[in-house]
Structure 1
Amino acid sequence: MCKFTQHVARRFRCPSQCVEAKFGVGRCCAHVVRVVPTPTRFSSKGEHMNRIEIETKLNDDRTWLLNTYTQLSETQLFGDLTPSEHDPSNFWSALDHLAHLALIERNFASMIRKHIAGEKNPVGLTHDKSGTPRTRDQIMASVHAMTEEWQLEHHGKSLEEVVALGASARAVTLQLLSELSDEQLEEKLPGAPWADGTIGGVLAANADHGRMHWKWAKDAGVHEH
């Protein structure tokens, strides 16, 4: 079990101690809950990554992701790969996994803006708007439904359309990064189980999210299509 999965399992008291173990190989069911692996949030000097390092990581991983997807055939891009955790009869394609990244990236930016604006529950996972605690099953069901809605909305779009979707989300991230002070990047985002829990860490986590989804696509046999 990866350190990130262990951390979130503890945070949400996962009975199986590993959400990925419960749902099997490579399905990103609870994306907003636990799917983004711990990114490199420290520089070579052992310090927190600064804004230049964060932006560089985001740009480098985005370039890698685009280069990787442009090498796929139409069949590999659009073929069924992984069953949905919301509706197992619905399958995600490699392009669905790529499109999904834009949803989470926008969600992260929205959470951060809510925190900066003074909201007490910016992430909104463990408690509802009234402050009532949510059970793990309620959290997972909500996340499954949200990711499914996005997948169905964008399913079947071309590679160019999905890339544009991601570019729009990345623009939101970079705009937010430009507005945040160095001190704000070091602030904790209340309720965030990703990376080190800081605003900068959450922003940097977008870089690793794409690589993780690509690994799942490979594990599901995208190259065999």
Structure 2
Amino acid sequence: MDLSGKVAIVTGASKGIGLATVQALLARGAAVAGWARSAPDDFTHDRFQFFECDVQDEHSITEAFTNTMRELGPEIHVLVNNAGLGIMGDVDGFRTEDWKTMFDTNVLGTFLCTRAVLPQMKQQHAGHIVNVASLAGTAGSAGMSGYCATKFAVRGFSDSLFKEVRPDGIRVTCVMPGSVETNFNGKEPGLTPDPHKMQPEDIAAAIVHAIEAPDTTMISEIQLRPANVK
């Protein structure tokens, strides 16, 4: 897809992979709606509009979607389901509230945002949905059962979705990064890049690569790992 003049929605757009994806899409000529609970710090662009949105809340998504179509036009060409969080801990000490928060954000949020855009994409007979999962959706890890479960769910959802909407001209890509230097799990990125982690811009570049694939090609899954291991 040629992104020039297209409209994209990016969830979790205030920082990390989300903000890097917003910037990458803008650089390719798209108009971008950033959905998040808070606006990105010190970031403005004439083709970027921020809409406050909590992806756990169906009403909040409906409102953000309505506002996006009013401000940027009725056609929606790209949805990047990036909003997510990770809470770590052993199962026998894990709080029920934390478990529900992760599933409501990572899984329910992905479903609700996808469901919101699908009627318009089907009407256009065109669109691309990118779901940001994780390598944690390919193999379990001790102390990460809840997070891994959500990302396995996102990967399964993506695989089923691409088969469901493929006849409608809609492409679906599941992006599964390994270690990325972000605010994930409450940690602050280092002042200098960690050579053993990928940068948010690296994941954004992969997302754009998938979206810009030729019309004859759908990249259904991308796994990314740091090139330099400890």
Mark yes or no: TM-score above 0.5.
no
For normalisation by structure 1, the TM-score amounts to: 0.28
Q: Which has the higher helix share?
A: 1
Normalized per residue, which structure has more strand?
A: 2
Question: Could you tell me the TM-score, scaled by structure 2's length?
Answer: 0.27
> Quick one: higher RCO (CA 8 Å, sep 6+), 1 or 2?
1
